[in-house]
Structure 1
Amino acid sequence: FSEHSDHLCEVAIDCIPGWKTSEYTWNFIPRKRGVYSTSTAFLETAFPFGLYKKKISLSMDSVLIVWPEISKLAFMPELREVSSSEDRFASHRAGDYGDVIGTRTFRLGDSLRRVHWSQSARQGQMIVTERQAAAVCALRVIPDLNQSHYQNNSSESLEAVIRITASICDSLLKQHACVECLIGNQLFRCEGNLRDHYKLLDELACIPANGLPSAEVKPVKSALPEFIVTNSSGYLKQMQIGSLTHRSRSIVVQDPPLQESDHDSVCQCEPWMRLNHPDESRDKTFADSWKKACYAS
């Protein structure tokens, strides 16, 4: 159950009765996603007093799948290309699709198209309108799992990409969005069904620690808005080959300094959202950056 294949996780059992079936339980808190156990389990005894040792392998009847760490995101991006029903609106959530439901003061990140100019002039401060949002939206999340983008035997950026993907899918599904997630060449569609939701999280948990080979990462065309989660190396390569479209919104995890190549700073194009370090995907910085990006879109 260790996260490193060359390190054994040991549990001491005080007594094992002979010729009986016994059950033992202990607390196990995994520190990373994945499928456990990571290696064969053994039962070893050194009775008496370590003079005689005997070890046998144990059969494993099941596995433990640990999902990626998920952050709660309370906001949903406003997408004009959204696939939704025009007559279904949510009066409790502001957006760009329905009737005007009120006004409020300007917040950092608000789009200028929301500004109510006459009210702003009357009150001497920036006032923006709030409209109804579509009750159902659909989008596609694409994590960059190409192992060639994660060099130097470091998986920090890849793990951050997987955490961000899991957080976005989980949070938007809880807000009744229809989410597609492209993992390698497999497309997962989740439309409020818990079984599909759990299947997606299981697949994210099972992604190899070094990513997927290039042959297993194939783009699948879609008319839906796309959220591409990648690292700085992957973002640069996508910009160079022109694979990003007007429907694409990139979320970029900056590689740690030791992983950055000499030409990573050439591209000055800012993505839709950027995290300055993989660890930011674990803390409040991620949720704050997501909120700001949603307001600005």
Structure 2
Amino acid sequence: MKRNLSEFLSKITDRIMAVGNYDYCPWANKYVYWLKQPIGWFVLAAIASAVIGLFAVPQGWFVCGVVSLVTALGVAWPWLAMRGLTAEIEFDRRRCREQDSIQVTLVVTNRWPWAVWGLLVERGFFESAGEIQSETATTALASVSGWSKTQFTFEYVPPRRGVYPLQAPLLGTGFPFGLWQAHQPIALNEQLIVWPRCVDLKSLPLLQGERLSAVGAFVDRAGHDGDILSARDYREGDSLRRIHWTQTARRDRLIVCERQTASRQMIVVTLDPWAFADQTPQDRILLDWGLRTVASLCQEFHGHACDLSCELNDERQAVPAATAAIQQINDRLARYTPLPAAPKGSITVSTGDRAQMTLFVTTVAGWERLGRSSWLGEIASFHVIVLDPGSTPQNHGQTPPYDFNRAETPQSAVRSTKPWMWIDISEDTSQQLRHQWERQCHDNWSVN
């Protein structure tokens, strides 16, 4: 009984709040939004008291003078205080990933002989759901002593990938009354590049590389590295270190061990350039997970010395085995901006020249556009990873695993209607990506 009454009262309260907060006159917002600032009400009070003093009682002039004096002091003091301040900000490192804790150092120089109180660092570190940057304060400072150079250190956790600050940060104060805030730009020594967060993938599909290399994954071809494949008769030029002495003694002739060789697989990781064009909050979440998926795949293939290329906005960039190469890709992902508009109808996708695997990251809408392409079921090396905001298609979990290197089979018709991986980002996205990736890699090794 009490529970039902509590739910009923909660619904009534929610309805009353909805009615009270409904915008009945949106056209008038630009005329009355100035009243959201405290100084607006003080100006209105000064005008009202002046009208009262003019047409009613003379005491209104006294009220008008007091309100005007407080308003003038509330505007002049912050403005004057900020004229004597300079500030600069720096980060403890140049690059990091999402949700990493960064140490930020703020140095404020006060040229006035008196202390300045109530300082705030605003703008550039947080963003709202809309296009306008939120004014959430990054940190607050109690005071800065007169004729001093003060250093402040605080921790900052970047909420998403990007280049921070997102816009020029400001040092502001509204002391003593908070009627109006004066601001001073903060000098920035260098920007912070925040990479997309990576999901730790611990598997790799079995791909036979076509390019022999000094570094790469070991394949079952005759070479000088890796595990032992077999034993054979000694040939002139073979290293004496590879002699199998047991077999040599048994056969009474020189027998050497045949080892594996290293090769590099050609991989192309592509982010659908047309699937993340919108800028709604849900689309930004999809874009972030698309970039995290691309970053995770690139990190995994790069760690196994594959011949990797990453394609963003139809611009392909090779990723050599050097550490600087993966940093450049992560920098591109941090700065990535999707194309402004998506094409109508079907789309054409580059699958990479001689690529053994093309991984294409897209959304449900992008998958539907791909479904209109007749070539999708004909390319065995093309694999689609679909990011779903929450509506899971029927029977997508029963998608049959198929071989990465298989030739054309009757299952090719299934490929045109089933993606390789389908990830619901409304749940544990990292776990889904890791689980489905390891399942596909396991199935591929089992087949081979």
Deviation at 1:241, TM superposition (A): 2.3
Please provide the CA RMSD for this pair: 3.5
Deviation at 1:21, TM superposition (A): 3.6
Q: Is the 8 A contact 1:233 1:255 kept in 2?
A: no
The structure-2 alpha-carbon separation of the partners of 1:53 and 1:236, relative to structure 1 and needing over 3 Å to count, comes to closer
CA distance in 2, matches of 1:202, 1:86: 27
Q: Which has the higher helix share?
A: 2
The structure-2 alpha-carbon separation of the partners of 1:30 and 1:84, relative to structure 1 and needing over 3 Å to count, comes to same
Secondary structure at the counterpart of residue 26 of structure 1: strand
Match of 1:84 in 2: 211
CA distance in 2, matches of 1:16, 1:163: 41
182-191 or 272-281: which moved more?
272-281
Deviation at 1:214, TM superposition (A): 4.8
CA distance in 1, matches of 2:433, 2:301: 15
CA distance in 1, matches of 2:148, 2:348: 53
Match of 2:417 in 1: 269
The structure-2 alpha-carbon separation of the partners of 1:88 and 1:65, relative to structure 1 and needing over 3 Å to count, comes to closer
Deviation at 1:150, TM superposition (A): 5.4
The structure-2 alpha-carbon separation of the partners of 1:175 and 1:23, relative to structure 1 and needing over 3 Å to count, comes to same
Secondary structure at the counterpart of residue 140 of structure 1: strand
Candidates 13, 35, 44, aligned match of 2:172: 44
The structure-2 alpha-carbon separation of the partners of 1:48 and 1:157, relative to structure 1 and needing over 3 Å to count, comes to closer
CA distance in 2, matches of 1:153, 1:241: 29
Match of 1:136 in 2: 264
Q: Is the 8 A contact 1:78 1:96 kept in 2?
A: no
The structure-2 alpha-carbon separation of the partners of 1:177 and 1:270, relative to structure 1 and needing over 3 Å to count, comes to same
Match of 1:289 in 2: 436
Q: Superposition pairs for residues 102-141 of structure 1, below 5 Å?
A: 135-141=263-269
CA distance in 1, matches of 2:274, 2:267: 21
Greater RCO, 1 or 2 (C-alpha within 8 Å, sep 6+):
1
Candidates 173, 176, 192, aligned match of 2:321: 192
Q: Structure 2: where are the runs of 5+ without partners?
A: 1-124, 230-259, 394-414
The structure-2 alpha-carbon separation of the partners of 1:86 and 1:296, relative to structure 1 and needing over 3 Å to count, comes to farther
The structure-2 alpha-carbon separation of the partners of 1:272 and 1:144, relative to structure 1 and needing over 3 Å to count, comes to same
The structure-2 alpha-carbon separation of the partners of 1:61 and 1:279, relative to structure 1 and needing over 3 Å to count, comes to farther
Match of 1:164 in 2: 293
162-171 or 147-156: which moved more?
147-156
The normalised TM-score by structure 1 is 0.72
Match of 1:73 in 2: 201
Q: Does 1:6 align with 2:139?
A: no
Q: Is the 8 A contact 1:157 1:255 kept in 2?
A: yes
Q: Does 1:27 align with 2:155?
A: yes
Q: Is the 8 A contact 1:70 1:163 kept in 2?
A: yes
Deviation at 1:240, TM superposition (A): 0.6
The normalised TM-score by structure 2 is 0.50
Once the two structures are superposed, residues 170-203 of structure 1 have per-residue CA deviations (whole angstroms, 9 ceiling, x without a partner) of 1221122221000113222112111111110011
Secondary structure at the counterpart of residue 226 of structure 1: strand
Identity %: 23
The structure-2 alpha-carbon separation of the partners of 1:268 and 1:17, relative to structure 1 and needing over 3 Å to count, comes to same
Candidates 347, 353, 372, aligned match of 1:222: 353
Q: Structure 1: where are the runs of 5+ without partners?
A: 102-131, 261-266
Once the two structures are superposed, residues 206-232 of structure 1 have per-residue CA deviations (whole angstroms, 9 ceiling, x without a partner) of 123xx2235899855422121111112
Secondary structure at the counterpart of residue 257 of structure 1: coil
Number of residue pairs matched by the alignment: 255
Which amino acid in 2 is paired with 1:281?
A: T
Moved over 6 A (4+): 86-89, 95-101, 215-218
Once the two structures are superposed, residues 41-74 of structure 1 have per-residue CA deviations (whole angstroms, 9 ceiling, x without a partner) of 1111233454775322323332211110101111
Q: Is the 8 A contact 2:214 2:263 kept in 1?
A: no
